[in-house]
Structure 1
Amino acid sequence: MRLSAPRNGPLIYRQPLSTRVTHWAWAVCLFFLLLSGLQIFMARPDLYIGRQSGFEFDNSFLSIGAAYVDGSMRGITDLFGWRFDTTGWLGAIWSGDNIEAKTFPGWMTIPSYRDLATGRIVHFFFAWILVATLLVWFGASLLNRHMTRDIVPGAADLRGLGSDLADHARLRLHHRRRYGPLQKLSYFGVLFVALPLMIATGLTMSPGFNAFAPWTLDLFGGRQTARTIHFLTMLALVLFFVVHIAMVVLAGPFNELRSMISGWMRIEPEETGL
Structure 2
Amino acid sequence: MVASSIQTLPKDRPLVYRHVLWTRITHWVWAISLFFLLLSGLQIFNAHPALYIGDQSGFGFDNEVLSMTAENTDTGPKGYTRILGHSFDTSGLLGLSQASGEPAARGFPAWATIPSYQDLATGRVIHFFFAWILAVTLALWLIGSVLNGHLSRDLAPRVADVRNLQRDVADHARLRFHHQRDYNTLQKFAYAGVLFIVFPLIVASGLAMSPTMDTVLPWLPELLGGRQTARTIHFLMMLLLVGFFLIHIIMIFAAGPLNELRSIITGWYRVDHPSGDEDQPARRA
TM-score by length of 2: 0.93
Paired residue secondary structure (1:160): helix
Q: Which residue of 2 aligns with 1:53?
A: 57
Alignment of 1:113-192 (within 5 A): 113-192=117-196
Q: Which residue of 2 aligns with 1:93?
A: 97
Q: Which residue of 1 aligns with 2:283?
A: none
Which structure 1 residue ranges, 5 or more long, are not aligned?
none
Offset of residue 51 of structure 1: 1.2
Q: Which residue of 1 aligns with 2:212?
A: 208
- Cα distance in 1 between the residues matched to 2:230 and 2:105: 27
Offset of residue 97 of structure 1: 4.3
Provide, for residues 159-188 of structure 1, a one-character-per-residue CA deviation record: whole Å limited to 9, x for no partner: 111111111111111100101111100000
Q: Is the 8 A contact 1:6 1:175 kept in 2?
A: no
Q: 2:203 aligns with which of 191, 199, 203?
A: 199
- Cα distance in 2 between the residues matched to 1:178 and 1:9: 16
Provide, for residues 55-107 of structure 1, a one-character-per-residue CA deviation record: whole Å limited to 9, x for no partner: 11111011101110016211111111111111111111123542121222111
Q: 2:116 aligns with which of 102, 112, 118?
A: 112
Q: Is the 8 A contact 1:40 1:119 kept in 2?
A: yes
Q: 2:229 aligns with which of 225, 240, 243?
A: 225
Greater shift after overlay, 117-126 or 80-89? 80-89
Q: Which residue of 2 aligns with 1:241?
A: 245
Which residue identity lines up with residue 6 of structure 1 in the other structure? L
Give the direction of change, closer, same or farther, for the CA distance of 1:152–1:264 in structure 2 (3 Å limit): same
Give the direction of change, closer, same or farther, for the CA distance of 1:4–1:269 in structure 2 (3 Å limit): same
- Cα distance in 1 between the residues matched to 2:159 and 2:203: 29
Greater shift after overlay, 72-81 or 243-252? 72-81
Which residue identity lines up with residue 220 of structure 1 in the other structure? L
- Cα distance in 2 between the residues matched to 1:273 and 1:51: 62
Offset of residue 134 of structure 1: 0.4
Q: Which residue of 1 aligns with 2:263?
A: 259
Instruction: Kindly report structure 1 stretches of 4+ aligned residues shifted beyond 4 Å.
Output: none
Q: Is the 8 A contact 1:64 1:103 kept in 2?
A: yes
Provide, for residues 214-260 of structure 1, a one-character-per-residue CA deviation record: whole Å limited to 9, x for no partner: 11122101000000000000000000000000000000000000000
Provide, for residues 125-166 of structure 1, a one-character-per-residue CA deviation record: whole Å limited to 9, x for no partner: 000000111012112212221111111111111111111111
Q: Is residue 7 of structure 2 the alignment partner of residue 4 of structure 1?
A: yes
Provide, for residues 7-29 of structure 1, a one-character-per-residue CA deviation record: whole Å limited to 9, x for no partner: 13101111010110000000000
- Cα distance in 2 between the residues matched to 1:173 and 1:99: 46
Q: Is the 8 A contact 2:165 2:186 kept in 1?
A: yes
Q: What is the root-mean-square deviation in Å for CA atoms of aligned residues?
A: 1.5
Identity among equivalent positions (%) equals 55
Give the direction of change, closer, same or farther, for the CA distance of 1:131–1:271 in structure 2 (3 Å limit): farther
Q: Is the 8 A contact 1:5 1:266 kept in 2?
A: no
Greater shift after overlay, 168-177 or 25-34? 168-177
Offset of residue 3 of structure 1: 4.0
Offset of residue 112 of structure 1: 0.3
Q: Is the 8 A contact 1:5 1:267 kept in 2?
A: no
- Cα distance in 1 between the residues matched to 2:120 and 2:26: 28
Q: Is residue 82 of structure 2 the alignment partner of residue 78 of structure 1?
A: yes
Q: Is the 8 A contact 2:99 2:110 kept in 1?
A: no
Paired residue secondary structure (2:28): helix
